Chain A
Amino acid sequence: DAGVIQSPRHEVTEMGQEVTLRCKPISGHDYLFWYRQTMMRGLELLIYFNNNVPIDDSGMPEDRFSAKMPNASFSTLKIQPSEPRDSAVYFCAWGRGLYNEQFFGPGTRLTVL
């Protein structure tokens, strides 16, 4: 999917557990975005990075959420502790910043029981 690998594709966990979602974008991008999609709230931007530096994390719902980008080809989104309301599909996307177009990965479907 558009040069983005996300893992795992599906994750089922119990409330209180730590969850780590991974994203490997293609090289040569400028921006890396994390989104969450639910039926109720639609697509929400959680955080984005520019050249591996977090630029805007105002969409991160709580301190339980954290994201890192240690290098240009890898990013993680961590939820600790997880709660049932975190159940959603989480997308990673990359952008070149030229026309602001973004290219999405296939997503990780997270279910917190």
Chain B
Amino acid sequence: GEDVEQSLFLSVREGDSSVINCTYTDSSSTYLYWYKQEPGAGLQLLTYIFSNMDMKQDQRLTVLLNKKDKHLSLRIADTQTGDSAIYFCAATNYGGSQGNLIFGKGTKLSVKP
């Protein structure tokens, strides 16, 4: 089955760019997501990308997808202290079981002033 891997921690300085990486194993994954979880809160959908896209930009967020390497990244430009949170990568295969949204273990982003 699908497996999604992420590094557990990332530390950056305020104003720098953050890049959070994710790899997945199922080449048939058609939708890939980034979720953000702030302390004491649920997961918040940040953005998603379809497998027929290479890049998606949404304000400070840029998602890059390398299907050949099964690699997904989330770049946050001009990182702010409010961006400190845990970021989850998730993958699914639309058309299959609607429940198989597979999450990585999350990357904890710490932003230092």
B94 within 8 A of A: yes
B113 within 8 A of A: no
With the chains together, A45 CA to B104 CA distance in Å?
Answer: 12
CB A85 to nearest CB in B, in angstroms, measures 19
Which chain B residue shows the least CB distance to A103?
B45
B44 within 8 A of A: yes
Task: Write out, one digit per residue, whether chain A residues 23-65 have a CB within 8 A of any chain B CB (1) or not (0).
Answer: 0000000110100000000110100101000011000000000
Query: Are A99 and B48 in contact, CB atoms less than 8 angstroms apart?
Result: yes
Residues of A within 8 A of B92 (CB): 100
Query: Are B41 and A101 in contact, CB atoms less than 8 angstroms apart?
Result: no
Size of the B side of the interface (Cβ < 8 Å), in residues, is 22
With the chains together, A48 CA to B102 CA distance in Å?
Answer: 13
Among A11-19, A72-80, A104-112, the one that faces the other chain is: A104-112
Task: Give how many A-B residue pairs fall within 8 Å (CB-CB).
Answer: 65
- Mark out the residues of chain B between 9 and 56 whose CB falls within 8 Å of any chain A CB in the assembled complex: 31, 33, 35, 40-45, 48, 50
With A1-B41, A104-B42 as known contacts, state yes or no: A99 contacts B106, CB within 8 Å: no
User: Chain A: interface residue count, which band?
Assistant: 20 to 34
With the chains together, A39 CA to B24 CA distance in Å?
Answer: 21
Which chain A residue shows the least CB distance to B99?
A48
With the chains together, A101 CA to B45 CA distance in Å?
Answer: 8
Residues of A within 8 A of B87 (CB): none
Residues of B within 8 A of A4 (CB): 42
B59 within 8 A of A: no
With A42-B105, A42-B106, A99-B48 as known contacts, state yes or no: A50 contacts B42, CB within 8 Å: no
Residues of A within 8 A of B45 (CB): 2, 101-103
Query: Are B41 and A102 in contact, CB atoms less than 8 angstroms apart?
Result: no
Query: Are A50 and B98 in contact, CB atoms less than 8 angstroms apart?
Result: yes
With the chains together, A113 CA to B62 CA distance in Å?
Answer: 44
A-B contact pairs, 7 of them (CB 8 A): A33-B101, A42-B103, A42-B104, A56-B97, A56-B99, A100-B101, A103-B45
Chain B interface residues toward A at CB < 8 A: 31, 33, 35, 40-45, 48, 50, 88, 92, 94, 97-99, 101, 103-106
